[in-house]
Amino acid sequence: MKGHTFWSDLKNYKVLLLMLLPAVAFFLLFAYIPMAGIVIAFKKYDYAGGIFGSAWNGLDNFRFFFESGDAWRVTRNTALYNIAFIAVNNILQIFAAIMLFEVGGKWFRKLTQSALFLPYFISWVVVGAIAYNLLNYDIGTVNAMLRGLGLEPVDIYNTPAYWPYILVLVAAWKSLGYGTVMYLAAITGIDTEMYEAAEIDGANIFQRIMKVTIPNLMPTVIILVLLAVGNIFRGDFGMFYNMIGNNGLLFSATDVIDTFVFRSLITSNDIGMSAAAGVFQSVLGFATIMTVNYAVRKYDKDRALF
Amino acid sequence: MKQLDRKIFSAIGYVSLILLAVLCIFPFILVVSSSLTEETKIVTDGYQFIPTAFSTEAYSILFKYPQEMINAYLVTIGVTATGTLLGLFLTSMTAYALSRKDFKWRNKFSFFFFFTTLFSGGLVPWYLLIVNYLDMKDTPMALIVPMVLNVFYIIVMKSFMSSIPEAIVESAKIDGAGDFRIYVRLILPLSKPALATIGLFLALAYWNDWYNALLFISNENLMPLQYYLYKMLGNMDGMRKAMMGAGAVVTTAIPTESLKMAMTVVATGPILLAYPFVQRYFVQGLTIGAVKG
């Protein structure tokens, strides 16, 4: 009987299933088959054998990855950068959204929002070019200004210590508009009656923001932050690669898992270790997302991912 | 008292927003102005916000040998157009099937797609698959196919289509329309706002893509614009270093610094020109996402 309904369902859904077929084939090919390809991480890859024909070598690839000392460095960098990005980006975005909501007329709001959103639209390659423009030792604007003030120029591209600050600034710059628009939408959704009530109670604007806007914004903030925390072990390859490239002098402060995996694969062609680092990242990421989703479920069941 | 609070607040608001807006736009002005500054001035005084010595030399050199740039442009336009259209078609068709409430297996399929955002095999197996098994290296396919479908776009499109009243589908079914026909004739025209938003997100991603080219393209004729720019920025640096290493005085024969900036301007130009017109669709898309959660 069960089999019968299955076949009749199949017939009913024939067209819908055909419509899903390209997407199913796509994700099977580009997502699920590569998941099976994780076995490379446990093999000594050779080109003749390919993914499934190469000889097993147990946990050797992982051992190399962890014993090289790179594992700890790139994992720490990835997590710390993401934590800094989450904190700085969200605070700036919420600040800009509240200000945009409270201050100015329609035109001011529109123009400012357009300006803030602009960096979102350009590629990381262009951002890299702009950064070079500003930070370059010989002709960068920052050093030109320092020289103009009679100060010593700084060799930024040779000094790892500056980079955490630079990268946090660049990330904030690129994502400011995007986040501001999201938070602005959430603020616009707050019930205006609450503002009116605050007004009647004689609250000034600072009190209104602290007592009405921010508490009402909190659910959105918590969800967005938690979701971002779920991706804490995913580095933004485009940003790190275009800002630092192959400048090994800076790696101690700037290398993240994604750039490490890329270099091991393309530059040093160490396929086994690169795959091992990738698997390590995927597993860590999966565990984090599951934990975070559990937290979101506890907080607000409707906003959980699954 | 209340008036004063308001005034202080407004002052803080205006000043900080204007400051942030200026910080967001400043780098763009720097690039444009550097591209229009005489090379010797850049070398002695650094990049400048206002050209102290105006020159269009960089652009005239760039347009004297434009073949490579034009070729990169054509690759990017072709990839962006094909990828966006194909992506929109596949995304909307998939989303439509998933949005049909009478489709019993829709949650199972949704999870099949969604799971790929939670766990992945990592870069290496994906890369080897495309290069060694699908033989896509140095083909336009490598620039189009990997980005054509994105789970988040499917989800946004699906939630938009779910808001279309079911009665429309019901009555079309009674009239004897098939599922595909309903999708093409009824759902697509009603989904125009979502199609515009997702289409622009796709187009932006394709236009700005350099990552797939970095991984899969070594044939110069297939280099898209952003990757060409990336290559040029690196190459000229290398050239300059090599010249200095050989003990040569940095010549101004090739104005490398202003040329870099001119290239950046030409590669970013279309986005900056389209920006005022398309911005609201992006805002719309984000707002839908924020409200739906």
Q: Which ipTM value was assigned to this complex?
A: 0.90
Distance CA B123, CA B126 (A): 5
Query: Looking at this protein, which amino acid is placed at residue A62?
Result: F
Domain with B113 in it: what CATH number? 1.10.3720.10
What are residue A231's phi and psi, to 5 degrees?
Answer: -105, 25
Residues B173, B108 contacting (CB under 8 angstroms): no
Would you say residue B291 has pLDDT above 50? no
Q: How far is B64 from chain A (nearest CA, A)?
A: 23
Closest CA to B290 of A120, A303, A290: A303
Mark which residues 2-41 of A lie under 8 Å from B by CB. Answer: 9, 13, 15-20, 22-24, 26-27, 29-38, 40-41
Q: Half-sphere exposure (CA, 13 Å, Cβ side) for A110?
A: 7
Contacts of A31 in chain B (CB under 8 A): 116, 120-121
Average pLDDT of the residues in A182-187: 89
Q: Who among A27, A176, A185 is closest to B112 (CB)? A: A27
For residue A217, the chain B residue with the least C-alpha distance is B290
CATH pick for A62-303 out of 3.40.50.10680, 3.40.720.10, 3.30.160.110, 1.10.3720.10: 1.10.3720.10
- For residue range A214-265, what is the model confidence (pLDDT) as tens digits? 998 988 888 888 888 888 999 999 999 999 888 888 888 899 999 999 999 9
Average pLDDT, chain A: 89
- For residue range B53-91, what is the model confidence (pLDDT) as tens digits? 788 888 887 887 788 889 999 999 999 999 999 999 999
For residue B258, the chain A residue with the least C-alpha distance is A133
Would you say residue A300 has pLDDT above 90? no
- For residue range B169-205, what is the model confidence (pLDDT) as tens digits? 888 889 888 889 999 999 999 999 899 989 999 999 9
Q: Who among A130, A147, A306 is closest to B27 (CB)? A: A130
Would you say residue B253 has pLDDT above 80? no
Would you say residue B242 has pLDDT above 70? no
Neighbours of A285 (CB within 10 A): 21
Average pLDDT of the residues in B264-279: 88
Q: Half-sphere exposure (CA, 13 Å, Cβ side) for A126?
A: 27
| Of A10-19, A294-303, B175-184, B269-278, minimum mean pLDDT range | A294-303
- For residue range A138-175, what is the model confidence (pLDDT) as tens digits? 878 888 888 888 888 888 888 899 999 999 999 999 99
Q: Who among A34, A119, A206 is closest to B126 (CB)? A: A34
B276 CB-contact burial (10 Å; exposed 0-12 / middle 13-18 / buried 19+):
exposed
Residue B236's pLDDT band, with cuts at 50, 70 and 90, is: low
- Give the ranges where chain B is alpha helix by DSSP (H): 2-35, 39-45, 57-64, 67-99, 106-118, 123-128, 141-144, 151-162, 166-174, 179-182, 188-190, 192-208, 211-216, 225-245, 256-292
Contacts of A132 in chain B (CB under 8 A): 233
The pLDDT of residue B292: 44
Host domain of residue B206: 3-291
Q: CB pairs below 8 Å between A and B: how many?
A: 287
The pLDDT of residue A165: 95
Residue B252's pLDDT band, with cuts at 50, 70 and 90, is: very low
Distance CA B89, CA B151 (A): 14
Q: Half-sphere exposure (CA, 13 Å, Cβ side) for B112?
A: 18
Average pLDDT of the residues in B241-257: 55
Residue A11's pLDDT band, with cuts at 50, 70 and 90, is: confident
First to last CA, chain B: 39
Mark which residues 101-140 of B lie under 8 Å from A by CB. Answer: 103-105, 109, 111-114, 116, 118-129, 132-133
Q: Which residue do the tokens 């010989």 mark? A: A138
The pLDDT of residue B237: 59
Mark which residues 50-89 of B lie under 8 Å from A by CB. Answer: none
Residue B290's pLDDT band, with cuts at 50, 70 and 90, is: very low
- For residue range B136-146, what is the model confidence (pLDDT) as tens digits? 999 999 999 99
Residue B18's pLDDT band, with cuts at 50, 70 and 90, is: very high
Q: Do A104 and B13 touch (CB under 8 A)?
A: yes
Query: Looking at this protein, which amino acid is placed at residue B244?
Result: M
Determine which of B9, B12, B19, B20 to mutate to test the interface with A (most A C-beta atoms within 10 Å).
B20
Residue A72's pLDDT band, with cuts at 50, 70 and 90, is: very high
Identity of the highest mean pLDDT range in B35-39, B97-101, B242-246: B97-101
Interface check A164 vs B, CB under 8 A: no
Distance CA A6, CA B124 (A): 38
Which residues have CB under 8 Å from B13's CB, separation 6+? A99, A102, A103, A104
Distance CA B169, CA B61 (A): 59
The pLDDT of residue B243: 46
Would you say residue B249 has pLDDT above 70? no
Residues A70, A274 contacting (CB under 8 angstroms): no
The pLDDT of residue A1: 52
Alpha-carbon radius of gyration of chain B? 25
**Domain range list for chain A:** 62-303
Q: Which residues of A205-217 are buried (b: 16+ CB within 10 A; e: fewer)?
A: beebbeebbeebb
Residue A27's pLDDT band, with cuts at 50, 70 and 90, is: very high
Would you say residue B25 has pLDDT above 60? yes
Interface check B264 vs A, CB under 8 A: yes
